[in-house]
Amino acid sequence: MVDVLKSLNFEYLCANPGNSFRSLHESLINYGGNRVPEFITCCHEESSVAMGHGYAKIEGKPLLVCVHGTVGLQHASMAIYDAFCDRVPVYIVLGNFGDTAERFGQVDWTHSAQDPAAMIRDYVKWDDRPVSLQGFSESAVRAYKIATTPPMMPVALVADHELQEYAVADGANLSVPKVTMTSPPVGDSGAVTEVARLLVAAENPVLVTDRVARTPAGLAGLIELAETLQAPVLDRNGRMNFPTRHPLNHTERSGPAIANADVIVGLELTDFWSTVNSVQGQVNPVVRPAVKPGTKLVSITANDLYIKSNYQDFQRYAAVDLAIAADAEATLPSLIDAVKRQITDDRKHTFADRGAKLATAHTQAMQAGREAATSGWDASPISTARMSSEIWAQIKDEDWSLVSNCQFVSRWPLRLWDFNKHYHYIGGEGGYGVGYGAPAAVGAALANRKHGRLTISIQNDGDLMFAPGVLWTAAHHRIPLLIVMHNNRAYHQELMQVQIMADRHNRGITNASIGSVLVDPPIDYSKLAQGMGVHAEGPISDPKDLAPAIRRAIAVVKGGDPALVDVLTQPR
Amino acid sequence: MRSLGVLAFVFALTLGSPRAQAQAPTTKSGDAGTASVANGKRAFVSAGCVACHGPKGEGTASGIQIAPPPLELPALISYVRQPTGKMPPFGTGVVSDQQLSDIYAFLESVAPPPSAAESLTGNSDNGKKLFAAYGCFECHGRQGAGASTGPRIGPPAISFAAVLRYVRAPSGQMPPYTAKVVSDQDLADIYTYLKSLAPPARAADIPLLNQ
């Protein structure tokens, strides 16, 4: 089994120990030499999977996660769902005592199942429970291929203890199959030609992106497509799709761009419906089209190739005019070629004029963002715009990588920083499951470590409290990561939701904080981190103290260790 | 419930826009004194304002009440040219400065008379306490500086009457607040507190925002 797993070239194994995979654990660290994969000691199965989630978005391939039977998988399940929604491959080996006659202790029974993967089957792409070593070998290779073929998702392979612990029979004819990666699905050539025709003929084409750039090629391809057409890109930021300071990045003026569009192409756009419809009002919401009548809608997404029933991450049905079931990144080269073939000199002039206007609008939108950032500049608690600007001042000349979701800090980094490399941003949770942030950041930092990148996470306080043990993992394995706490002392999203409900029910709005805030006592994240061996400072409430603290923390990170700066912040 | 679905609080008209006032054109073409109510009524329809704001600027589910106008004329012109909320920009090719001046006069002419509540005097200290106690900060920040969840409202650039109307019947993502929950006097106090806040500096004067 170790030989099979080594053939898949997993760089790391993330796990906390569990007796249902004790034999595989022992074999990996002794027979396998604890190399490729190297065991990363985790403190929660949710952390193990989320680390794999963050790692894969930087490295472009999965790491191995071992999960203990039943209770371990129950712990892991939310993180698996996040990775599923985010279309990220995580490779899970699940321990189990399959043969009831082989269960000799109470725990062997309570942590085993007839069908161990049943509880996650709705949100993994594939699972299997091989009953022989040769079966394990083939299923393991098959699982890797399935996980890494778009749409990418987690896979789970049950490893019953009989397979793990019993000696290989004399004369057994075992082999490890060659893994041949599946080329990603590319759009039908006729449909791609039609999309190109629509885009070239359009007066106001718009490209809307979400999880397009799986690799640096996706980022480069999207830039080429946008520049060829001089078309604006509205980035939903599921990945690092398009440079934030590119004149064709019009994310900050999405409303007018959508309203003015005559062709909209969604590229791996998870929620097309909300892009072309407007929902206003928390109470009795009003839905209106956000596009002009007759606007052509085109979707290119691998999500059309694989959809599940029970968990409804697929969003509301979008009535597009043309749907191409294909991986958008893999389709970009043929789409660019088709566009170039159809462009006439006349259209080139039109595109150039459009590009000039778009560049002006981009500059104005960026300036509007900077002006908005001035609000509450010297406030205490510290504004998230100020905190983001202070971080940027310290990292802008480094080879940096931001590995946390910007939504919770009003997207300030995306509005103020210069994102232009594929590892500059990795999007968010996928399934909006709290507890993803800290371990995914450590996993991404683990991937960045060998590249020498300065990894930064703006860490939500509520998220860290779900499984803070990952701080110890970062310290123990010397994973360099700058953690800047966005400490608003609340589960703030829910605080707003409760406030809205209190208002809707007309019951007064002074009790909304009950159950939603993290005060009395306030949590000292500096001490929490220090207790796990992480350099930490704070809490910092005066914005003037931020820059020196961040500089000191970066010095620690450059020395190869994690560091945390606790910042008391405005809510968003 | 642990959903993190982002509340995209988008308003048809931002409540805090002193920058818009500062950048407003000073040309006499925007002088309401030379404006025509009749022309304004026609322009209000031809420019499409009625679609979101209603025939008399009374507001609809898609756009706030704008009669009487919530901004001074120069600020309104700036906003229409470069809105920050859900409203699309309207260039001079669609509606000229003179037509906006006419529309402004029209909106003033059809505005309902001010209510008694609109003339209340507020208490800033109490307003500061209420701003925190009522959770206004949750979406707008602790000093009303704004965030992705709600626009900047400190200091407000629009009248108390406009705030009062909006809070009772908002058109965006903000839920309506009844007088039972937040009284008119409470709102007057909060408004007075927000008015007492200093306007932000210009981005050009902050080195960290120019890197």
Scanning the structure block, which residue is given the tokens 């001010």?
B114
Region of poorest pLDDT, from A454-458, A517-521, B152-156 = B152-156
Residue B88 has its nearest CB partner, among A259, A371, A416, at A259
Rounded average pLDDT over A72-76:
98
Q: Does B26 touch chain A (CB under 8 A)?
A: no
Rounded average pLDDT over A447-467:
98
Residue B20 has pLDDT above 90, yes or no: no
Sheet holding A233-235, edge to edge: A233-235, A205-209, A263-267, A296-301, A322-325
| Residues of chain B contacting A381 with CB distance shorter than 8 Å | 142
Instruction: Name the minimum distance, in Å, from the CA of B43 to any CA of chain A.
Output: 21
Residue A44, classed as helix, strand or coil, is coil
Q: State the average pLDDT for chain B.
A: 80
User: ipTM surpassing 0.85, yes or no?
Assistant: yes
Scanning the structure block, which residue is given the tokens 């606790």?
A566
Identify residue A408 by its one-letter amino acid code.
F
Identify residue A148 by its one-letter amino acid code.
T
Assign B4 a pLDDT band (cuts: 50, 70, 90): very low
- A171-186 pLDDT per residue, tens: 999 999 999 999 999 9
The more confidently predicted of residues A169 and B32 is: A169
Q: Are residues B80 and B40 in the same domain?
A: yes
Domain boundary among B79, B94, B110: B110
The pLDDT value recorded for residue B87 is 77
Return the closest-CA partner of residue A242 out of A274, A203, A216, A269.
A216
Within-domain flag for B7:
no
- A223-238 pLDDT per residue, tens: 999 999 999 999 999 9
Assign A569 a pLDDT band (cuts: 50, 70, 90): very high
Cβ contact A139:A146 at 8 Å: no
Hey, are the CB atoms on B62 and A499 less than 8 Å from each other? no
Rounded average pLDDT over B6-34:
38
User: What are the start-end ranges of the H helices in A374-491?
Assistant: 384-395, 412-416, 437-449, 461-464, 470-476
Q: What percent of chain A has pLDDT over 70?
A: 100
Phi, psi of B34 (to 5 degrees): -105, 10
- B108-154 pLDDT per residue, tens: 999 888 788 888 899 999 999 999 999 999 999 998 999 989 989 99
The more confidently predicted of residues A349 and B71 is: A349
Distances (CA, A) of A365 to A247, A354, A368: 10, 16, 5
For chain B positions 140-169, those within 8 Å of chain A (CB to CB) are 141-143, 145-149, 152, 154
Residue B12 has pLDDT above 70, yes or no: no
User: Best mutation site among B62, B143, B209, B210 for testing chain A: the one with the most A CBs within 10 Å?
Assistant: B209
The pLDDT value recorded for residue A44 is 98
Q: Are residues B68 and B98 in the same domain?
A: yes
What CATH number belongs to A2-165? 3.40.50.970
Q: Are residues B25 and B106 in the same domain?
A: yes
Hey, are the CB atoms on B211 and A494 less than 8 Å from each other? no
Scanning the structure block, which residue is given the tokens 């106690």?
B133
- A284-334 pLDDT per residue, tens: 778 889 999 999 999 999 999 999 999 999 999 999 999 999 999 999 999
What CATH number belongs to A189-369? 3.40.50.1220
How many residues can be counted in chain B? 211
Region of poorest pLDDT, from A140-154, A228-242, A525-539, B25-39 = B25-39
Assign B5 a pLDDT band (cuts: 50, 70, 90): very low
Within-domain flag for B39:
yes
Q: Are residues B99 and B137 in the same domain?
A: no
Assign B13 a pLDDT band (cuts: 50, 70, 90): very low
Hey, are the CB atoms on B84 and A381 less than 8 Å from each other? no
Instruction: Name the minimum distance, in Å, from the CA of B34 to any CA of chain A.
Output: 31
Q: What six digits make up the tokens of A499?
A: 């406030």
| Residues of chain A contacting B4 with CB distance shorter than 8 Å | 407-408, 429, 432, 434, 493
The pLDDT value recorded for residue B24 is 32
Within-domain flag for B206:
no
Beta bridge partners, A41, equal A15
Assign B19 a pLDDT band (cuts: 50, 70, 90): very low
Residue A50 has pLDDT above 90, yes or no: yes
Q: What six digits make up the tokens of A285?
A: 């919401």
DSSP-derived pairing of the beta strands A563-568 and A482-487 = parallel
Q: What is the CATH number of the domain that holds B184?
A: 1.10.760.10
Rounded average pLDDT over A64-89:
98
For chain A positions 488-547, those within 8 Å of chain B (CB to CB) are 491-497, 499-500, 503-504, 506, 508-510, 512-513
Q: Does B202 touch chain A (CB under 8 A)?
A: yes
Tell me how far apart the alpha carbons of residues A120 and A94 are, in angstroms, rounded to a whole number. 11
Q: State the average pLDDT for chain A.
A: 96
- Number of domain units in chain B: 2
Assign B191 a pLDDT band (cuts: 50, 70, 90): very high
The pLDDT value recorded for residue A277 is 94
Q: Do A2-165 and A374-568 share a fold?
A: yes
Q: Are residues B167 and B89 in the same domain?
A: no
Give A140's contacts (C-beta < 8 A, 6+ positions apart): A1, A4, A5, A8, A157
DSSP-derived pairing of the beta strands A64-67 and A12-15 = parallel
Q: How many helices (H) and strands (E) does chain A have?
A: 21, 18
Phi, psi of A486 (to 5 degrees): -95, 85
Assign B6 a pLDDT band (cuts: 50, 70, 90): very low
Distances (CA, A) of A222 to A210, A330, A403, A424: 12, 11, 21, 16
Rounded average pLDDT over B167-178:
83
Q: What six digits make up the tokens of A353?
A: 């004029």
Q: Are residues B36 and B63 in the same domain?
A: yes
Please write down the HEC assignment for all residues of chain B: CCCCCCCCCCCCCCCCCHHHHHCCCCCHHHCHHHCCHHHHHHHHHHCCCHHHHCCCCCCECCECCCCCCCCCHHHHHHHHHCCCCCCCCCCCCCCCHHHHHHHHHHHHHHCCCCCCHHHCCCCHHHHHHHHHHCCCHHHHCCCCCCECCECCCCCCCCCHHHHHHHHHCCCCCCCCCCCCCCCHHHHHHHHHHHHHCCCCCCHHHCHHHCC
Q: What angle do CA B123, B127, B129 make, to 5 degrees?
A: 130
Instruction: Name the minimum distance, in Å, from the CA of A211 to any CA of chain B.
Output: 18
What is the second-level CATH architecture of the domain A374-568?
3-Layer(aba) Sandwich (3.40)
What is the domain range of residue B135? 117-198
Cβ contact B37:B99 at 8 Å: no
Rounded average pLDDT over A53-80:
98
Return the closest-CA partner of residue A265 out of A226, A207, A322.
A207
Assign B33 a pLDDT band (cuts: 50, 70, 90): low
Q: What is the CATH number of the domain that holds B96?
A: 1.10.760
Hey, are the CB atoms on A499 and B88 less than 8 Å from each other? no
Residue A31 has pLDDT above 50, yes or no: yes
Phi, psi of B139 (to 5 degrees): -105, -25
Residue A476 has pLDDT above 90, yes or no: yes
Hey, are the CB atoms on B88 and A278 less than 8 Å from each other? no
Q: What percent of chain A has pLDDT over 90?
A: 94
Interface size, chain A vs chain B, as Cβ–Cβ contacts under 8 Å: 159
| Residues of chain B contacting A407 with CB distance shorter than 8 Å | 4, 6, 148
Residue A375 has pLDDT above 60, yes or no: yes
For chain B positions 52-111, those within 8 Å of chain A (CB to CB) are 61-62, 82, 84-86, 88-89
**Is the bond into A151 cis (omega within 30 degrees of 0)?**
yes
Domain boundary among B110, B144, B169: B110
Residue A509 has its nearest CB partner, among B84, B139, B181, at B181
Instruction: Name the minimum distance, in Å, from the CA of A488 to any CA of chain B.
Output: 10
Q: Are residues B37 and B60 in the same domain?
A: yes
Assign B7 a pLDDT band (cuts: 50, 70, 90): very low
Q: Are residues B123 and B102 in the same domain?
A: no
The pLDDT value recorded for residue B84 is 66
Q: Are residues B136 and B106 in the same domain?
A: no
Within-domain flag for B160:
yes
Tell me how far apart the alpha carbons of residues A405 and A413 are, in angstroms, rounded to a whole number. 10
The structural domains of chain A, with segments of one domain joined by +, span 2-165, 189-369, 374-568
For chain A positions 342-371, those within 8 Å of chain B (CB to CB) are 364, 367-368, 370-371
Residue B11 has pLDDT above 50, yes or no: no
Q: Are residues B97 and B127 in the same domain?
A: no
Domain boundary among B74, B93, B110: B110
- Helix (H), strand (E) at residue A192: helix A189-201
Assign A563 a pLDDT band (cuts: 50, 70, 90): very high
Tell me how far apart the alpha carbons of residues B67 and A152 are, in angstroms, rounded to a whole number. 53
